[in-house]
Amino acid sequence: MNAPSNNHLNRRSFLQKTSAGVGAGMVLGAPNILRAAEQASNDDINVALVGFGKQGTVLFDSMKNIPGLRFQAVCDIWDNSRKKALGRIRGLKRGYTATGYSDIDEMLATEKGLDAVVVATPDFWHSPHTVKCLEAGLNVYCEKMMSNTIDGARAMVRAMEKSGKLCQIGHQRRSNPRYRFTLEELIRKKNITGQIVNINGQWNRAVKSSQDISVNPKIVPKDDVLQKYGFKNAHEFMNWRVYRDLSGGPISDLGAHQIDIYNWFLGCSPKSVFASGGNDFFTEREHFDNVMAIFDFDTPQGGVRAFYQVLTTTSAGGGFWESFMGADATVKISEIPSSSAIYRESSAPDWEPLVNAGYLKKRAALAKPKEDSNAVASYASEAPEVYDLPGGFNKPAHQPHLENFFEAVRKNDFKHLTCDARHAFESEAPIYWVNPSALRKEPIVFTEEHLSV
């Protein structure tokens, strides 16, 4: 089933939903239009944490700030991670304890009264763990990517729809106030970009941040335990992201964040992908250490080409962002406020009304460079005006998305989710074909078989 479009925001609804204010900060001093979190009820939600590695810890640090959650169980095959999670839970308040498990089947068979499970295991376990929990009648928040394979992702959609339970996928930008306001108010309603003709995005990471994680054989699980759960050895366990059987590599680990935004903002899937990749630095790894991809879209306004680059070999100026280039303006947007801006073309309509209404804030104009008589004559475009995008909140990046999930659980409302498994699959499906295109060195033109559940 295709759920109807949800969570359309406007200036009035932002004001209505957030008049109580829940700790969100504003870049702009104008009306508080971006406080999108809602006050939660006091009904406790009993939660199990499945996987408490790096990403599981990130999610816990976001969840611990959400009222009404009771962490009832923790499941992780690694004693170190499981003990860390139990200790963090005990530290929330006196007398607060959870039960630890190394096997998810034992946890599901033993624990009573669970309402929701948060899955943050390695990618190749996302689908099996999510399907098990949905079939057990539990609501699931699962980290992205949905799976290391498109068939695994399909199984998650089918399990969600068959069970009738909620399943949110961790594309957290879908609940980010800056992203939602930019899409709903500035791009869709105000048409601030004009016709979008091109998209660029990147996630570039330095070599120092991309090294293998060292293995301490004294503390990692024993080989028989690792092999029971799909790891050939301790190196695979600690570095599963570089193995093709266990993950999708950098294009899904990092690139999925940006490519999801392409599909979401344009409101459609691409018609093709052409990718290139290589092991130019980490020559022994299975997955490419850098990938570049071009997606072609057909939108009601016209064709759009979207370029994406992911590097694990250099920061290349650093950062991760998406840039939507239109005839009237370019929106550069990121989870990091300092990496976000909007650039107005000189031919665009006047934006002064938007500034006065608090939608935008104009930056001081840059000083014009002095003319150089030795320079070669050129026909450069006039420098665009630069404006700050609204939005900034003093919460961990994942917290609004988790808040959205748990509020949907309280309401038992499928439509309340900002990124259920069906919508996540529609956005993720093209990503599964990037590595095959790069391996074959040829474009892939999508058919229904490529993109459907």
The pLDDT tens digits for 417-439 are 999 999 999 999 999 999 999 99
Assigned token pair, 441: 């060195």
Assigned token pair, 71: 């962490």
Topology match between the domains 11-175+396-426 and 177-213+240-395: no
Alpha-carbon distance values, 443 to 256, 292, 342 (Å): 19, 12, 32
**What gap in Å lies between CA 167 and CA 157, rounded to an integer?**
8
Give the pLDDT confidence score for residue 85 in this predicted structure.
Answer: 98
**What gap in Å lies between CA 351 and CA 343, rounded to an integer?**
11
Ranges in the chain, pLDDT < 50: 1-41
Give the pLDDT confidence score for residue 126 in this predicted structure.
Answer: 98
Backbone angles phi, psi at 289, to 5 degrees: -90, -10
The DSSP result for 218-241, as a single string, is TTSPPHHHHHHTT-SSHHHHH-GG
Domain 177-213+240-395 has CATH 3.90.1150.10: no
**Of 398, 421, 420, residue with least CA distance to 56:** 398
Assigned token pair, 452: 């459907």
List of E strands, 253-381? 272-278, 290-299, 302-311, 320-326, 329-333, 341-344, 361-362
Give the pLDDT confidence score for residue 95 in this predicted structure.
Answer: 78
State pTM to two decimals.
Answer: 0.89
**What gap in Å lies between CA 286 and CA 429, rounded to an integer?**
22
**Percent residues over pLDDT 70 in the chain:** 87
Give the pLDDT confidence score for residue 293 in this predicted structure.
Answer: 98
Which residues face 362 on adjacent strands? Answer: 387
**260, 171 contact by CB (below 8 A):** yes
Give the pLDDT confidence score for residue 376 in this predicted structure.
Answer: 62
Give the pLDDT confidence score for residue 384 in this predicted structure.
Answer: 87
Q: Give the start-to-end residue ranges of the domains of the chain.
A: 11-175+396-426, 177-213+240-395
Considering the domain delimited by 11-175+396-426, tell me its CATH architecture: 3-Layer(aba) Sandwich (3.40)
For tokens 């001093």, what's the residue?
A: 29
Q: Given the DSSP bridges, would you call strands 290-299 and 302-311 parallel, antiparallel or unpaired?
A: antiparallel
Give the pLDDT confidence score for residue 34 in this predicted structure.
Answer: 45
